[in-house]
Amino acid sequence: MAVKQVVTKNNIDGYLQRIFGLMFGAVLLTAITSVITIFGGGLKFLFNSTATGFSALYYVLLFGGLIFSIWAQVRAFNMRPSTGAVMLAIYSIIMGITITPLIAVSLSINPISIIYAFIISALMFGCMALFGYKTIKDLSFLGIFLTMGMIGLILTGIISLIWPLGATGAAIVCIVGVLVFALFTAYDMQTLKNAYNVLGDETQKNQLAVLGALHLYISFIAMFEYILSLFNNRN
């Protein structure tokens, strides 16, 4: 029995290492893409003189990335894990480009805020991921509320492109966004842990690892964006 428990623990540890390895790799790829876009002259393709200030290319990448991520999640168990990892890499590159305007504004207002936002996001992500993994409380009831909250945030973001929310409204949205994706981190971690014990097929576990990495990546990047936006809003 003891040997079986050790083997099981080693297996789930390897599973979690794959998840976080893919996720952190995606975060790094996003950061590299953003740096290349900013210092490689890519900003001129994302901005123009329209009312919103963004070019058609920016909107194509923004909404295309959203659709792509939804498609990748729906098809996660219908593609090979290696293909899923490539999809994650493509999505992280798209995110690296679309997050560039926010990074560029932060560089012009207060560059150190980028570091602060990253550290705060990393600490919150780590604490919530650990909580989701360790807690014995069933967090499944959060699923519907968090999904509704995420949809509300997406719709609010789209509306704000046309009708700006103002400083107070933007700050409230950012705070709600941080809360939603922090809870999503805990919820996803518990779901991934429980799913591992249910799935018996190794291929499915590898597919789930890629899907889990995508979910956690989205939560981390979203928290970073909202926290950085709060810093920008304050300045």
pLDDT at 8: 53
Residue pair 187/142 in contact (Cβ under 8 Å)? The answer is: yes
Range list of H helices, the chain: 2-39, 56-74, 81-98, 100-109, 112-134, 142-162, 166-198, 202-234
Residue 107 near residue 38, CB atoms below 8 Å:
yes
Which residues, including other chains, have CB under 8 Å from residue 87's CB and lie 6 or more apart?
Answer: 68, 72, 79, 210
Q: How far apart are the two ends of the chain, measured CA to CA in Å?
A: 59
Q: What is the pLDDT of residue 218?
A: 96
pLDDT mean values, one per 10 residues, the chain (235 residues) = 45 85 96 93 77 80 92 89 93 95 90 95 96 92 92 88 79 94 96 83 87 96 95 78
pLDDT of 49: 57
Q: Give the integer Cα–Cα distance in Å for 75 and 79.
A: 7
Distance CA(63)–CA(68), nearest Å, equals 8
pLDDT given for residue 50 in this prediction? 60
Q: Which of 83, 57, 59 is nearest to 72 (CA)?
A: 83
- Is-contact 182 209, C-beta < 8 A? no
